[in-house]
Amino acid sequence: MFFVELTALAIVSLALLSIFWSTITLGISPMPTSRKVKQEVLTLIPGDLDGEVQELGAGWGTLAWAVASRFPRARVIGWERSPFPFLFCRLRLLIQPRENLTIRFGDFHRADLKHAHLVLTYLWTGAMLRLGPKFDAELPDGALVISHTFAWRGRDPELTHTTADLYRTPVYRYRITRP
Ligand SMILES: C[S@@+](CC[C@H](N)C(=O)[O-])C[C@H]1O[C@@H](n2cnc3c(N)ncnc32)[C@H](O)[C@@H]1O
């Protein structure tokens, strides 16, 4: 019995250490999108969405599962670099399988966005600043970027919703338009 408890304690400690380390090195914790903000994000996604969706930083899969479930014709790819949330998502895929959902381990800066119809982000200001040029260079004409809490600086959103929560969380929708 003592051995079982010791193993459980070791696993929990490792998980916490891993999350702590990833939070420090990546600059953000795997804080999930709240239920109210998730609903607001879903209302900003066109009902006929059927292409590739890239979620940059999937965390525990809160948005990835919601989008894959609501839009079965979309192909959702979630990127996650923090090992424990990534493993959690892979396990979740076994328990709550979604044929149109893939979770990849790795740095989302390596994601190829050339075929994305929609990019989802819940990151931080610095990450959005770094991603802006990548969005400009890779996303096709008409693609959407939906980001909550943190805006894509220097770009006007085509829509902004304010969530009816304590923080009045903003959800921004940007559209790529090429001349
Ligand atoms: C605030 S959480 C958002 C999680 C999820 N998108 C949601 O809305 O519930 C941001 C996530 O981005 C991940 N992340 C940060 N930098 C990353 C990178 N360069 N590549 C992949 N994932 C990254 C973090 O590990 C974290 O899980």
Block residue for tokens 């019995």: 1
CA distance 25 to 166: 29
Domains of the chain plus CATH, in order, are 31-175 (3.40.50.150)
Which of 22, 45, 56 for a ligand 1 pocket mutation test, highest count of atoms within 8 Å of Cβ? 56
Which of 18, 65, 81, 89 for a ligand 1 pocket mutation test, highest count of atoms within 8 Å of Cβ? 81
pLDDT in the model for residue 100: 98
Task: Please list the pLDDT of the chain residue by residue as tens digits (179 residues).
Answer: 678 899 999 998 998 998 999 899 898 999 999 999 999 999 999 999 999 999 999 999 999 999 999 999 999 999 999 999 999 999 999 999 999 999 999 999 999 999 999 999 999 999 999 999 999 999 999 999 999 999 999 999 999 999 999 999 999 999 999 88
Ligand 1 atom nearest to CA at 109: 19
DSSP character string of 75-114: EEEEEE-SHHHHHHHHHHHHHS--TTEEEEES-GGG---T
CA distance 119 to 143: 8
C-alpha dihedral (97, 102, 103, 106), degrees to nearest 10: 170
pLDDT in the model for residue 41: 98
pLDDT in the model for residue 86: 97
